[in-house]
Amino acid sequence: MKQKRDIKKVLLIAGAERNKGRFFIDEVTDFFREAGKEYSLYRVNGKPSGQLNKPKDLNGVDLVVSLGGDGTLLYCARILAGKNIPILAVNLGDFGFITEISKAEWKDAYYKYIENRLEISSRMMLEVCVQRKGKPLSCYLGLNDGVIGTGGISRIIRLKVYITGTYVGRYRADGVIVATPTGSTAYSVAAGGPILHPEMEALILNPICPFTLSNRPIVFPGKEIMEIEVEEPQRTDVILSIDGQDSFRLLPGDRIVFKKSDKKTFIIQSDKRNFYEVLRTKLNWAGEPNA
Confidence check: pLDDT of 55 > 50: yes
Specify the higher pLDDT residue, 114 or 55.
114
- Whether domain 125-262 has CATH 2.60.200.30: yes
pLDDT for the residue numbered 1: 58
Residues of the chain with CATH 3.40.50.10330: 9-119+269-282
Q: Is 236 helix (H, G, I), strand (E, B) or coil?
A: coil
Confidence check: pLDDT of 151 > 50: yes
Specify the higher pLDDT residue, 222 or 22.
222
- For the chain, the average pLDDT equals 90
The burial class, CB within 10 Å (0-12 / 13-18 / 19+), for 290 is exposed
Residues of the chain with CATH 2.60.200.30: 125-262
Q: Are strands 202-208 and 246-250 parallel, antiparallel or unpaired?
A: unpaired
Q: Before 233, cis peptide (omega within 30)? A: yes
Q: Are 10 and 63 in contact (CB under 8 A)?
A: yes
DSSP state of 182: G
DSSP state of 5: P
Confidence check: pLDDT of 53 > 70: no
Identified catalytic residue from 70, 145, 246, 254:
70
pLDDT for the residue numbered 273: 81
Q: Is 276 helix (H, G, I), strand (E, B) or coil?
A: helix
Fold held by 9-119+269-282: Rossmann fold (3.40.50)
Confidence check: pLDDT of 267 > 50: yes
pLDDT digits (tens, 9 = 90+) for 187-237: 999 999 999 999 999 999 999 999 887 889 999 999 999 999 999 999 899
56-74: string of b/e by CB count within 10 Å (b at 16+)? Answer: eeeeebbbbbbbbbbbbbb
**CA 189 from chain center: how many Å?**
14
Can you say whether residue 192 is alpha, beta or left, with left for phi > 0 and alpha for psi between -120 and 50 degrees? Answer: left
Please tell me the distance from the alpha carbon of residue 209 to that of residue 136, in angstroms, as a whole number: 29
Extended strands (E) in the chain? 9-14, 38-43, 63-68, 87-91, 120-132, 135-142, 145-150, 157-163, 166-173, 175-179, 202-208, 218-221, 226-230, 238-242, 246-250, 255-268
| Closest-CA residue to 9 (of 117, 83, 70) | 83
User: What average pLDDT does the segment 22-44 reach?
Assistant: 93
Specify the higher pLDDT residue, 97 or 180.
180
Q: Is 237 known to be catalytic?
A: no
pLDDT digits (tens, 9 = 90+) for 102-130: 999 999 999 999 999 999 999 999 999 99
